[in-house]
Amino acid sequence: MNKTILLAGFLSMMHLDADAQSFIGRQTPSVKDRTFTPELLWAMGRIGSADASPDGKQVTYNVSYYSVSENKSHTVIYSIDTDGKNERLLTKANTSEVAPQYIQGGKRIAFLALDDEMNMQVWSMLTDGTDRRQLSFEKEDVEDFMFSPDEKKVILLKTIKYGQRTSDIHPDLQNTSGRVINDLMYRHWDEWVETIPHPFLAHFDGTKISGAKDILEGEPYECPMKPFGGMEQLDFSPDSKMVAYTCRKLEGKEYACSTDADIYLYNIETGQTKNLCKPAGYRRPAVDYTESLKNQSVNDGNFNGYDANPAFSPDGKYIAWQSMERDGYESDKIRLMVCELATGKKTDLTLDYAANVDAFCWATDSKDIFILSVWHGTTHINMVSIDKKNDLGSTLIQSVTGGQYDYISLTPCGKQLLCGRQSMKQATELYLVDPAACIKEMKEIQKKYSESTSKQEPKSVRQLTHENQYFYDNIDWGNVEPRWCSATDGQSILSWIITPPNFNPNKKYPTLLFCEGGPQSPVSQFWSFRWNMMIMAANGYVVVAPNRRGLPGFGVEWNEEISENYGGQCMNDYFSAIDDAADNLPYVDKDRLGCVGASFGGFSVYWLAGHHNKRFKAFIAHDGIFNLEQQYLETEEMWFANWDMGGAYWNGHSKTFDNSPHRFVDKWDTPILCIQGEKDYRIVTSQAMSAFNAAQLRGIPSQLLIFPDENHWVLKPQNGILWQRTYFNWLDKYVKNPIGERTESYLVPEIANE
């Protein structure tokens, strides 16, 4: 999935924060015994969007802070010189101000802030934070914005009404809460679909934004696409005459069952729109929406999968975008597609490249493109040449960075790249990367090491921000090391082994098997503010985090092994990884093992609970799938269910549905904690409730933690603290300090007698 979060997701929090009486900013709380706690985790700053000045001498960026006592967040804008000096807090209002971008040649910074009517609008200020001016005066919230290169135009993202309300059909029932549903996709992620985002093209005279016109006026389609799409799904041409945008022009059942998004070119002068991915007059073939599209003839040589995130080359000759080939498969290989605008010729620059293109940006010379790709558990920058080939005749792709890190964003900054970077030991900070120097260094490094993503990092990478240095200096941190083991089919599995602070290899530690979600999301060097490896380590646990079958970064075949095989090799990989650790790492206490995970990781927990043969002392499942038949009809994005499960259960896809965790509850014999958000429409609350009820009826120690106001994630500070406390209370009770050997004292008689 696209991990970019639409700024609209922050709007509700911004409006709530408007009532805040105190400024929530950078925190330096007291640290007891140098121990990392959930409260300290929530006190850390969270770096968000960033932009570089045109001359590459200054950077502006967002940081979000959270107050647990007030249960609120607050986002501010900083700037810093690219020599690392002169960090400045530019916004000091009690309300959040976001999305800073340089305009007017770098003399001013545009951003989003509330106006007197409590609507989010575009503002600007001088680079020292003074001379604040309101630029837009829309009646609705502006959710994001983008200025054209000539700065005479601006795209405003705003929300428009979608469909009819019940009160539209029955005007005399203005206060009814009932919804009359006639088609699919009536709710998505965490909302009932009653509004959709649209891009509005407006004029800018240097002081005021006006005349906003809906580019998709009269079209009932999202742009950008929910739930994760943002302004990266649109771009201006360098001459400011064209807008490229991403859109899936489907509704209802077609939208719910297809991933077919395309790249469109909108001519600002004529108002005409051209689809770059389909020929004129194209019509989608009829398909059976209860079957997986992989088994149907929908791929006709056109671009039928996800095509998203267009970006014009600086010279205007090309447009590039990320592309998936197959309709209905949201985790297909992400290709880098380039179209020569003069001829319409399209080229897959990553045809022979085994990894995904997770993000990209053009080099200033329009001859190269920088990409982010995960490979063997780390995400790094590579440079793709438009017209150069390697010795094998494939596109020349060169490594730019290395080391045990994840690079998560790319922004041109003069001759350098401004990048967000994180690891399991460090929250996101901003770094400056000199590509030319780094490529030379990486070639030397690769002569010494077999892996391009070795622990060696180019010296030409420089850390720019130190937002959370206080925490790094005052807390003892765990360690993270890679470990490879053999799978049951002879292939090799990479796991990250996380050990506690002040680690003693001669001591026995309780150990957790971490099960990743997605299902096809990498176990790379991610930093999470909930599933945080350093918090688990600080609580005295070793963590084994495998890159099991069905994850990117190990080739297409490895990634696709999971489809229609949820209970197959991916589960064997989990057993192989935890058994290897228990048998070969002397500090892993095989008598104190726990198993935790969320989303597909939650499914994994429920499935492993019925197959683990008494390996584990306790389980924790967050937002997990318990009943696959139930999930097939409850989830909103049917393309996902159809592809991964093979189609509807009534069509006889027994390979998938016979492996549903609920079918193995009779084998459950271990304490289990089930966690769920009631606003999660991806995996509905009934899944966790069913699992908890089953455990209760079986007489198994179990607990249910429900958040009525959370979705697939836990976003509110006090809910996050409650999550952590409940999580570790459960593990401490049953894993760290188990009740001796497992006995029959808490099992129903029929289990005890087996």
DSSP code at position 647: B
Name the token pair of 42.
Answer: 């929530």
Identity of the residue numbered 151: E
Length of the chain equals 754
Please report the DSSP string for 461-528 in residue order.
Answer: EEE---TTHHHHHHS---EEEEEEEE-TTS-EEEEEEEE-TT--TTS-EEEEEEE--TTT----S---
User: 495 forms bridges with which residues in the sheet?
Assistant: 483, 546
Cβ atoms of residues 225 and 248 within 8 Å: yes
**End-to-end CA, the chain:** 43
> What is the spatial distance between Cα 731 and Cα 593, in angstroms, rounded to a whole number?
10
Residue (of 591, 649, 656) closest to 617 by Cα position: 591
SS3 42: helix
Q: What angle do CA 530, 531, 536 make, to 5 degrees?
A: 105
Question: Cα angle at 20 between 19 and 26, to 5 degrees?
Answer: 150
User: In sequence order, what are the beta bridge partners of 462?
Assistant: 432
Burial 104-114 (b: 16+ CB within 10 A, else e): eebebbbbbbb
Q: How far is CA 574 from the centre of its chain?
A: 23
**H helix or E strand, kind and range, residue 744:** none
Residue matched to tokens 């429920």: 606
> 195, 11 in Cβ contact below 8 A?
no
Position 159, amino acid: T
Handedness of CA 479, 454, 486, 600 (dihedral sign): positive
Q: Which residues are catalytic?
A: 599, 680, 712
A 10 A CB-CB count for 285 gives: 11
237 sits in which H/E element: none
Of 404, 379, 624, the C-alpha closest to 497 is: 404
Residue at token pair 């401490």: 732
- Distance CA(285)–CA(628), nearest Å, equals 28
